[in-house]
Amino acid sequence: DAGITQSPRHKVTETGTPVTLRCHQTENHRYMYWYRQDPGHGLRLIHYSYGVKDTDKGEVSDGYSVSRSKTEDFLLTLESATSSQTSVYFCAITSTGGGTEAFFGQGTRLTVV
């Protein structure tokens, strides 16, 4: 299994609070991604990173920010959580971008009440 660890694995938070999810990899892969998965929508890209301090928006980036200060860590922050952000969040890594195999973490189940 690819060395990807997401934390926390489960979280319940209140509307309006900030939340940070962490993705840690031990594969030294350049590209890291955050996806959310919702019934009827599948996996949707939130943000991705193509190097330390290099990030860009995905399909559903509103309300989210990311940071990558080290190769191994990619943080996703919900600036002010809303109920619509209740979802399962997955981190993924690839070695050379979209044309190579992506490996996923086990997911973080976030509930905003």
What binding mask, one character per residue, do residues 19-38 give for other proteins by CB under 8 A, x or -?
------------x-x-----
How far out from the chain centre does Cα 21 lie?
7
Judged by CB under 8 A, does residue 105 bind other proteins? yes
d(CA 13, CA 58): 24
Q: How many residues bind other proteins (CB under 8 A)?
A: 24
Instruction: Give the nearest distance from C-beta 19 to other proteins in angstroms.
Output: 20
> In a 10 Å sphere around its CB, with 0-12 CB exposed, 13-18 middle and 19+ buried, how is residue 69 labelled?
exposed
Judged by CB under 8 A, does residue 102 bind other proteins? yes
- Joined tokens for residue 54: 């290099």
Of positions 14, 40, 53, 83, contacts other proteins by CB under 8 A: 40
Instruction: Give the nearest distance from C-beta 16 to other proteins in angstroms.
Output: 28
- Joined tokens for residue 44: 């949707």
Can you say whether the dihedral through the CA atoms of 56, 103, 81, 46 is positive or negative? positive
Which residues would be at the binding site for other proteins (CB under 8 A)? 31, 33, 40-45, 48, 50, 56, 58, 90, 97-107
